[in-house]
Structure 1
């Protein structure tokens, strides 16, 4: 049956490879890519040349108002029947800054906004439009383990704070440094796993939520805001590690992501998929108290944006599962 999958982070890196695989492996999919500027139009035109159904909506994921506008446009297209039923959301976009002092227009630290709040707002605004069976996939990172085995000493491990602290700049020691920015990144990915666990508890039956870890994937644009030496290493030197078990090639990571999205990789709701298999995430990532605390905070942080949608006479479905 024709259905829609909404995807962020599809215009480059592993997302581009995953997008190509999704539409080629599942011709019934209408892939709606969310992208900044003209990249979404270029991607939909390129993939559409292969007879696939691909369209786009523009959004800046660093702005909650822009995310809301994109989600409302998607809702409108679904209501008009311009899109087939919604059965998937892929939160693949991610950002890593060179510091922990970058603030977005909503007053929140930008890593936290893009990697956590943007996904949460999309899911909450589209929640009642999902038709079961549906799958939400959030791309996370094994940097959340915080050990040498998973990050080879390149990214500091997460440093959990209260969500109110994490959502604002200066949450970590030496926030003006690259280490501060990378700590914000690994911590945001831990937060994303916490929210996946909460989605699994709270979303209606038949709407599954899964965290996907591609492993260390050199050669992507994740470090595009890093210093010149780091960018050169990521693009020219570290890709050689894909010949070892310590790294994943972009092609493999994109294929793994597509398989999770399409259900070829079997994964129960709330699970963590490490490349092509279900595995356990870090011990720290299983903490119901933190998960509830983060959920409540994310609801507060996005409340004004969600309330604007409610006043537009567009209802949101209530939580259908107990805490």
Structure 2
């Protein structure tokens, strides 16, 4: 853990940040863009980049300090979402620091970190895409909600790839297969639903990603019903963002185009190919808005494509699946889940 204060020692207590916001995986890509937007918008914020690679995270901290609003603070803490023990340790250390008033009260959490690559397994034996993007965040949220001070907000990074209707708008060369839902216990083992039966390695990688992003939406809707008044959660689709690290395991030619060519063509691509293509700075600012915009203070259990609130996929409103995911995730992570706190009638989208 490395704390990087950006305030002058001569500043008084009134100048110190008043709220802590955590961004998982904030050392690059969307998370970095979100952290930059949070820091530049207000001196009130103490942002924690919760990352597995502390070296890369510290480099991001150094760069973020340069554009931070005077008085804002930025630091990093170790969090490996592929390890339930690491998630528990992070939550315990954070609780100690909050109780000691070493950092301001916790008012925001951005669940951003994700992986997409060849099939691997976490330290706890879970398929990595599902284990990191869903189970790691599931445990983290259940541990951190009791530590939050109201009003507080949570943002969950999902993706339009969870929605077959949205995937139909994407050129075939850039699309991933639609989700292949299975029971959560099966997904944790790496077993997708029947639609994935004939997938090759590339299709398997993409389908596990889209299926996990569907899980992120189910998780958001289930959490929205369990949060106490004063704490909200919403899901977020950042759109296609050329240049981010999700293509790290793609073929070399694809990686080169993704990192070096497509980012320079975003305005053209948006005009002639797909509107939902953005820079990480644009999507990062839209993600940060879910944490800081006063107009969204009471918005809860919604799905945003960038700045627009839109419906998520038809499949994502299956309440039985959402409830099964919550129950099984509690079993897999070994915790008692948050209880219901709000009536289901607040969420008419559920079937």
Shared fold (TM-score, shorter chain, > 0.5) = yes
| Cα displacement (A) at 1:229 | 2.6
TM-score by length of 2: 0.83
Contact 1:143-1:151 within 8 A present in 2 as well:
no
Check 1:241–1:54 CA distance in 2 against 1; reply closer, same or farther (3 A cut): closer
Contact 1:173-1:180 within 8 A present in 2 as well:
no
| Cα displacement (A) at 1:241 | 4.3
Aligned twin of 1:7: 23
Q: Structure 2 residue aligned with 1:110, among 128, 131, 143? A: 128
Q: How far apart in 2 are the matches of 1:292 and 1:278?
A: 23
1:152 aligned to 2:160? no
Q: How far apart in 2 are the matches of 1:232 and 1:149?
A: 25
Aligned residues: CA RMSD = 2.1
CA deviations 1:199-220 (Å, max 9, x no partner) are: 1101111110000111111111
Contact 2:161-2:210 within 8 A present in 1 as well:
yes
CA deviations 1:12-45 (Å, max 9, x no partner) are: 1122122111011021011011012212222233
1:132 aligned to 2:150? yes
1:291 aligned to 2:283? no
Q: Structure 2 residue aligned with 1:253, among 283, 287, 309? A: 283
Matches within 5 A, 1:1-323: 2-37=18-53, 38-49=55-66, 50=68, 51=70, 52-98=72-118, 101-147=119-165, 148-153=167-172, 154-171=175-192, 172-173=196-197, 177-239=201-263, 240-245=265-270, 246=274, 247-263=277-293, 266=296, 268-303=299-334, 306=335, 319-321=340-342
Q: How far apart in 2 are the matches of 1:61 and 1:141?
A: 19
> Which of 1 and 2 has greater Rg?
2
Check 1:43–1:141 CA distance in 2 against 1; reply closer, same or farther (3 A cut): same
CA deviations 1:258-289 (Å, max 9, x no partner) are: 22221256371000011011111111111111
Contact 1:197-1:291 within 8 A present in 2 as well:
yes
Any idea what SS the aligned residue of 1:244 has? helix
Any idea what SS the aligned residue of 1:127 has? helix
Count of aligned pairs between the two proteins: 311
Check 1:318–1:156 CA distance in 2 against 1; reply closer, same or farther (3 A cut): closer
| Cα displacement (A) at 1:319 | 4.7
| Cα displacement (A) at 1:196 | 0.3
Check 1:260–1:300 CA distance in 2 against 1; reply closer, same or farther (3 A cut): same
Q: How far apart in 1 are the matches of 2:198 and 2:111?
A: 29
| Cα displacement (A) at 1:162 | 0.8
| Cα displacement (A) at 1:66 | 1.3
Q: How far apart in 2 are the matches of 1:295 and 1:221?
A: 29
| Cα displacement (A) at 1:233 | 2.9
| Cα displacement (A) at 1:175 | 6.2
Check 1:265–1:230 CA distance in 2 against 1; reply closer, same or farther (3 A cut): farther
Aligned twin of 2:11: none
Worse-superposed segment, 241-250 or 156-165: 241-250
Check 1:249–1:214 CA distance in 2 against 1; reply closer, same or farther (3 A cut): same
Q: How far apart in 2 are the matches of 1:65 and 1:173?
A: 33
Check 1:108–1:176 CA distance in 2 against 1; reply closer, same or farther (3 A cut): farther
| Cα displacement (A) at 1:320 | 3.2
CA deviations 1:90-122 (Å, max 9, x no partner) are: 011111113xx3111101000001110111111
Worse-superposed segment, 207-216 or 33-42: 33-42
Worse-superposed segment, 60-69 or 257-266: 257-266
**Mind listing any 5+ residue stretches in structure 2 that lack a counterpart?**
1-16, 345-351
TM-score by length of 1: 0.90
Any idea what SS the aligned residue of 2:98 has? helix
Q: How far apart in 1 are the matches of 2:309 and 2:338?
A: 29
CA deviations 1:149-170 (Å, max 9, x no partner) are: 3443320011111111111124
